[in-house]
């Protein structure tokens, strides 16, 4: 499909620079069939059914933004995807000044050797020393805010907590599964009281989620890969819930992409561990996903293509036009939408 079919104009003042406070007070646009309804996130227990199951991504964002130098040249790096115990792919600013084998000093005793360049333009970094890389990043790294926020303000101490979900446990993401930022302990209690269950899975979100689609046709886009896992017990509980008539509602596109990667043709969720580069566009037949709670996405992005596949492109264009006209806040720290296909 033509990529320009997924374009829309967004005023820059609609981009949220801080999350709602409290988190569950964010606005929620319900898209159910052809209907649009303005709600708030705390309405969620009344919008779902008893027996439904929410799927959360329990990945935890690491301090993946690094600033350093190679000789006299300043170098910035955003870690992208782990390749080994000490190896990470990174998008590097000023990469033309870095050659294979060069040592980059990120300060605080943290250094890395530059390696091969990937087809996506990323550079392989091998961190030196014996300390776990996670500890090195805690010393030298900072929270990797999305570019549309980082371009307007610096990351600060608030982001260390604001950019983590209440489910964050498994370290390895370089971007947050932001739909889950709206959830609070009191909202989870209300959902439990309404008979709505929840499960967690893990998908380590990579910086590739923010890469623009540079081709004219979706068939020519090279989708980034991310590592994920659904264990045997979780897969069994998801299948049992669906068999009882419950719906599986993914919280965030990361949860949805992993769920669909793990599901077979019959819609049965299988245990999964490994990379997924699933690219969902209109025409895709969903296997196990019955609904999605997600934030509002970038124009011409793979994520707007995904929600268009779930609900229909014209319907989502209309929903986004409504959200823009009605003052909804967009992107990672913005408001949410609940998408329930007919």
Instruction: State whether 38 and 71 are in the same domain.
Output: no
243: containing domain: 3-61+160-340
> 56 has which bridge partners?
200
Reported as a pLDDT band with limits 50, 70 and 90, residue 326 is very high
* Total-model pTM: 0.94
d(CA 41, CA 63): 28
* 105/174 same-domain check: no
Q: Are residues 312 and 190 in the same domain?
A: yes
Kindly report the average pLDDT of the chain as a whole number.
95
Using alpha carbons, list the distances in angstroms from residue 87 to 133, 274, 276, 302. 9, 17, 19, 27
- Give dist(CA 248, CA 291) in Å, integer: 7
Q: What is the mean pLDDT of residues 249-257?
A: 98
- pLDDT interval class at 50 (50, 70, 90): very high
Structural domain count, the chain: 2
CA distances in angstroms from 144 to 36, 48, 61, 68, listed in the order given: 33, 33, 8, 15
Would the pLDDT of 210 be above 80? no
Residue 22 lies in a domain: yes
Q: Are 104 and 112 in contact (CB under 8 A)?
A: yes
Give phi and psi for 22, each to the nearest 5: -65, 165
Q: Flag whether 300 is in a domain.
A: yes
Q: Is there a single domain that holds both residue 278 and residue 335?
A: yes
Kindly report, residue by residue over 57-80, the tens digit of the pLDDT.
999 999 999 999 998 899 999 998
Domain identity same for 294 and 238: yes
């Amino acid at each position: 499909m033509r990529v320009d079919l997924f374009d829309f104009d967004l005023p820059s003042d609609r981009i949220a620079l801080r999350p709602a406070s409290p988190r569950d007070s964010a606005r929620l646009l319900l898209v159910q069939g052809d209907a649009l309804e303005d709600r708030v996130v705390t309405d969620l227990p009344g919008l779902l059914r008893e027996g439904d199951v929410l799927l959360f991504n329990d990945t935890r964002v690491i301090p993946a933004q690094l600033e350093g130098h190679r000789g006299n040249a300043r170098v910035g790096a955003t870690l992208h995807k782990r390749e080994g115990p000490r190896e990470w792919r990174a998008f590097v600013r000023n990469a033309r000044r870095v050659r294979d084998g060069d040592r980059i000093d990120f300060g605080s005793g943290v250094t890395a050797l530059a390696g091969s360049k990937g087809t996506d333009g990323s550079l392989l970094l091998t961190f030196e020393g014996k300390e776990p890389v996670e500890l090195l990043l805690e010393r030298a790294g900072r929270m990797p805010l999305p570019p549309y926020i980082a371009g307007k303000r610096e990351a600060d101490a608030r982001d260390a907590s604001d950019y983590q979900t209440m489910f964050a446990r498994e370290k390895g993401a370089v971007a947050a599964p932001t739909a889950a930022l709206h959830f609070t302990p009191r909202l989870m209690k209300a959902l439990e009281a309404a008979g709505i269950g929840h499960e967690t899975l893990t998908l380590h979100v990579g910086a590739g989620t923010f890469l623009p689609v540079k081709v004219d046709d979706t068939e020519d886009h090279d989708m980034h890969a991310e590592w994920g896992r659904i264990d045997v017990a979780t897969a069994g509980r998801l299948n049992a819930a669906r068999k009882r008539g419950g719906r599986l509602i993914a919280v965030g596109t990361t949860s949805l992409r992993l769920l669909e990667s793990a599901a077979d043709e019959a819609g049965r969720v299988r245990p999964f561990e490994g990379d997924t580069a699933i690219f969902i566009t209109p025409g895709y037949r969903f296997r196990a996903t019955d609904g999605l709670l997600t934030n509002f996405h970038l124009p011409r992005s793979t994520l707007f293509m995904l929600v268009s596949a779930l609900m229909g492109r014209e319907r989502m264009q209309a929903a986004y036009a409504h959200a823009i006209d009605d003052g909804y806040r967009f992107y990672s720290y913005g408001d949410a939408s609940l998408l329930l296909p007919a």
